[in-house]
Amino acid sequence: MNKKVLLTYSNLDELRKYEKEIEIYSFILAENKGILNSIENAAIDITTIVIFLSANNGNVLSAEMSLYNLDDSCVAIVRESYAEIAINMFPYVFNKVKPIYEKKLKINKTAITKRSHFYTYKNEKYLKQIIKYTEDNEIPLASFPSVNGDLKACYDEFNKNNKLAIVDLTSLSLAIEDNKNILYLSEQFLSIYENVRYIVIANKADILLKYFPLYFDDFESVDNLLKGVEEETEPEDASQKKRCITDLDNKEFEDFCSYFDMNLIGHRAFKNKMFRFLKNFQIMNRVNDQKVFSMFLFGMSGIGKTEVARLIAEKLHHGSYLTKINFANYSSQDALNILIGSPRGYIGCEHGELSDKVGKSEIGLILCDEFEKTNRPVFSFFLELLEDGKFTDTMAREHDINGFIVIFTSNILSEAEFQKTIPPELQTRLDLVCEFKEPSVADKHDFLELLYNKAAKKYVAQFSDYNITIDDKKTLYNFSYQNLHALRDIKREFQNKLMELFEIREKFTQ
């Protein structure tokens, strides 16, 4: 069999123009064996399968065999930007590339591919009413789940024996810009069911039209789908005002710097720079030139990176709850949904960890620990958050973080590793980047002094009625702290010795 010519279109307008000349099918790997053997005088768009196989090459042979057996009256098309990848992926099927509209193709006109509308809702308050309406009328409602091998099985169960079912594609629209592999798997799902209707928050409608032109041709209000849904009219509670670094007056800021300097041992260059940058941030925030202050601290574990956040939190509001997200658990494809949540009332619904914790806290501070372990969609989310000074969860709730400090910490060990791991666009958005290095012996001794002074005030009054003597102090310091790399380990050893000292004194007193 002779090799085929792969036709290309350069944009969405060309694709829609071509639809008026020939029926177009999207390549669906699991079902194409039967389809490709039966259709004639049609075009097969292989763009999404090329994107998918670029990252998942296990099915290349199966796709190649399907295309090789394509009827001679059919043509294969691909978006122009993926043409070279397609030629290299299927060398036994295609031998050259040709644009669709360089020369007029003589192709018989057939029926235009049937596409449908999707439906939009305005905001979270309206979504609450949609959820209530579907519950009252026993209409299944689900958000688009994380894309995995159980996708079809999940929705077969969800879709069983129902005349109407609704899927919210908002979470898909949030993820698809940063993970194009979802395109192919999403099209597999969109092509399965006739009784499913799709909804999305209004400000994401253009994304669905952009990425799924063969499935959706327009959108309309969800009012046209669900008759009788009434928007909730009760006003939402005003969000709790957080105490931020920008709220401190000059005297309070001086007290903050003094407290921080005294309680974070070492790291002199970092502290000087942070104090200067925070003062500038106060001024720039007041004139609306900078919404958020961000810092990225990297280095070995246990040398004070997390302590930076704890000290800031303590001085902003004594005993306050610290918004801390550990990104060691955020490496999966579903990381962004875990972070900002899935809509309430949906199958697999969970609250977003970030919005929940920010809501609990009384201060404008977010700690992102082990941030290097997360993935690209989360990186992109924080890029927008730092630029806008706000974020929107999947319930369409907007969270204002104007005046916040966002601290990213990482166990990355070098500047070179930082440059390699963190996306360049996020690097340029960070206000302060600093490598934390192992403390000097003098710093370690100063840290012991700090622990000793705190213990004298905090523990002695609770555990005994005696004062710590000079000999006791020597006992507490009598371990090889110089050889311990992490301040955390020094603190642990000091506390063990302190407890031993209390036990001895208590036994002696008895």
User: How confident is the model over 402-436, as pLDDT tens digits?
Assistant: 999 999 999 888 888 899 888 889 998 999 999 98
pLDDT at 405: 94
**Residue 437 — very low, low, confident or very high, per pLDDT cuts 50/70/90?**
confident
**Residue 344 buriedness (CB in 10 A; 0-12 / 13-18 / 19+):** middle
Radius of gyration (Cα) for the chain, nearest Å? 30
Q: What is the token pair recorded at 394? A: 């999947």
pLDDT for 237 beyond 60: no
Could you tell me if residue 16 is inside a domain? yes
- In a domain, residue 107? The reply is no
Are 255 and 197 found together in one domain?
A: no
User: DSSP string spanning 112-144?
Assistant: PPP-EEEEEE-SHHHHHHHHHHHHHTT--EEE-
Average pLDDT score over residue span 5-16: 87
- What share of the chain in percent tops pLDDT 90? 14
- Residue 249, pLDDT score: 92
Pick 343 or 313 by higher pLDDT.
313
Q: pLDDT at position 164, please?
A: 78
- Tell me the C-alpha distance between 303 and 270, whole Å: 13
In-domain check, residue 111: no
- Indicate if 136 and 76 belong to the same structural domain: no
DSSP state of 3: P
Q: Is residue 318 located within the same domain as residue 255?
A: yes
CA angle 502, 505, 509 (to 5 degrees): 135
In this model, does residue 298 exceed pLDDT 70?
yes
Which of 249, 250, 190, 183 minimizes the C-alpha distance to 216?
190
Range(s) of the domain holding residue 450: 441-509
- Tell whether 282 and 217 lie within a shared domain: no
Domain membership flag for residue 231: no
- Rounded CA-CA distance 462/464 in Å is 6
269 domain residue, yes or no: yes
The predicted-structure confidence for 163-217, as pLDDT tens digits, reads as follows 778 888 887 777 776 666 667 667 766 766 667 888 888 877 878 888 888 888 8
* Distances from the Cα of 188 to the Cα of 9, 152, 191, 384, 408, angstroms: 22, 9, 6, 30, 38
Return the CATH number at 289.
Answer: 3.40.50.300
DSSP 3-state assignment of 156? helix
Tell me, yes or no, whether 173 and 252 share the same domain: no
pLDDT at 342 over 70: no
- For 341, list phi and psi in degrees, rounded to 5: 90, 165
Statement to judge: residues 448 and 432 lie in one domain:
no
Nearest residue to 408 (alpha-carbon basis) of 428, 389, 382: 382
The answer as to whether 69 is a domain residue is yes
Of 46-60, 288-302, 452-466, which range is least confident?
452-466
Tokens of 192: 């399965």
Domain assignment present for 42: yes
Query: Per DSSP, which regions of 340-499 are E strands?
Result: 365-369, 390-392, 398-400, 405-410, 432-436
129 shares a domain with 54: no
Looking at the structure, do residues 377 and 391 belong to the same domain, yes or no? yes
Whole-prediction pTM = 0.52
Does residue 52 fall inside a structural domain?
yes
DSSP 274-293: HHHHHHHHHHHHHTTS-S-E
pLDDT at 465 over 60: no
- What's the confidence (pLDDT) of residue 292? 94
C-alpha distances out from residue 296 to 15, 189, 243, 309, Å: 44, 40, 22, 11
Mean pLDDT, the chain, rounded, equals 78
Same domain, 314 and 356: yes
* pLDDT higher than threshold 90 for residue 296: yes
| Among the ranges given (79-83, 112-116, 303-307, 476-480), the one the predictor scored with the smallest mean pLDDT | 112-116
Same-domain check for residues 124 and 255: no
Could you tell me whether strands 293-299 and 141-143 are parallel, antiparallel, or unpaired per DSSP bridges? unpaired
Query: Minimal CA–CA distance to 338: which of 142, 348, 168, 347?
Result: 348
Collapse the DSSP code of 403 into the 3-class scheme (helix H, G, I; strand E, B; otherwise coil) and give the result: coil
Same domain, 297 and 320: yes
Which amino acid is located at 214 in the chain?
L
For the ranges 28-42, 70-84, 417-431, the lowest mean pLDDT is seen at 28-42
- In three-state secondary structure terms, 412 is coil
Asked if the model's pLDDT at residue 8 lies above 80, the reply is: yes
**Does 106 score more than 60 pLDDT?**
no
Domain boundary among the residues 48, 74, 99 is at 99
Q: At which residue do the structure tokens 């955020």 appear?
A: 330
CA distances (Å), 463 to each of 303, 467, 500, in order? Answer: 29, 11, 12
Distance in angstroms (rounded) separating the CA atoms of residues 30 and 482: 63
Which tokens is 319 given? 């005993």
Classify residue 448 as exposed, middle or buried by CB count within 10 Å of its CB (0-12, 13-18, 19+).
buried
- State the Cα–Cα distance between residues 448 and 491, nearest whole angstrom: 8
pLDDT tens-digit readout, 144-175 = 654 344 555 555 655 565 577 888 888 777 77
Look at the chain and report how many structural domains it folds into: 4
Closest CA to 406 of 267, 260, 297: 297
d(CA 327, CA 485): 24
Same domain, 378 and 483: no
Kindly state the percentage of the chain with pLDDT values over 70. 76
